Copies of this chain bind each other. A is one copy, B any other.
Amino acid sequence: MVTNKAIQEQRMKGYFIQATKDILKGEGLKGVSVRNVAQQAGYSYSTIYNYFKDVNDLVFVCISDFQQECASFVADQAQSSAPGVDRLKKLVVGYVNFFVEYPGLFELFYLAKVGDFGHKEATINVINSSLDAICEKEWNYCIARGMVKAADVERLKAQLRYMVISLLLLYLNRRFPASYSEFMNQLTIQINAILDNEALSEQTVANSGQGGTLVQNSLISVNIK
């Protein structure tokens, strides 16, 4: 049974969580201070400690919500494209676009230091399987249709994951590549290198470029601040 106290407690938590999420999407982690969150939620800063162990705890619970949001964002961008490898590519691009639009969330997912990791296995898992979860349905489709060798799938998933995360890390954190178009060019090259080589439908797209030639991509453009 759900007691009134439990409902009210959840509601209070929700106020702080919502405030934290708004700040994370806007200013990023640096904007999240216990006093800042409390003010936005309309409470005193010390009240937070009646509902959360510490500020890390508060930030941590936002992650699952954001993963959901990311999945919706990506699905929306990819639904129009043809199922199979094509849509797989769009899903990956959508995933990248999400974090380019919300750099603070990339920071939260991959860069944030969180004090005790021991009891947060579940949340960590949400992060680590974030991209895979979004692509899972499409991978299964590709396997069923014989578009990729089943034995290669785990390695390919890993390759995509590694490529995407580093590309975002370097672009958002180290300004490399320097421009958004170069960044997207790199992304396209790498996606094709991973997915076209292994795909049985060997179409060998023009992706040989030395990094100099700009590969045309029909990707959704995203505003960068």
Contacts and interface: CB of A to CB of B under 8 A. Distances in A.
A52 B211 CA distance: 38
12 contacts: A128-B170, A128-B174, A151-B208, A151-B210, A152-B208, A154-B210, A155-B189, A155-B207, A155-B211, A162-B167, A165-B170, A166-B169
A68 interface: no
B175 A117 contact: yes
Contacts of A154: 210-211
Interface of A: 30, 110-111, 113, 117, 124, 127-128, 151-152, 154-155, 158-159, 161-163, 165-167, 169-170, 173-176, 186, 189-190, 193, 197, 207-208, 210-211
Contacts of A117: 175
Contacts of A163: 159, 162-163, 166
A27 to B, nearest CB: 13
A53 to B, nearest CB: 20
A179 to B, nearest CB: 14
Number of copies: 2
Nearest to A211: B154
Nearest to A210: B154
A189 B124 CA distance: 23
Given A166-B166, A170-B165, A175 B211 contact: no
Contacts of A127: 174
A166 B197 CA distance: 21
A158 B186 contact: yes
- The 3 residue pairs across chains A and B that have the minimum distance between CB atoms: A162-B166, A165-B166, A166-B166
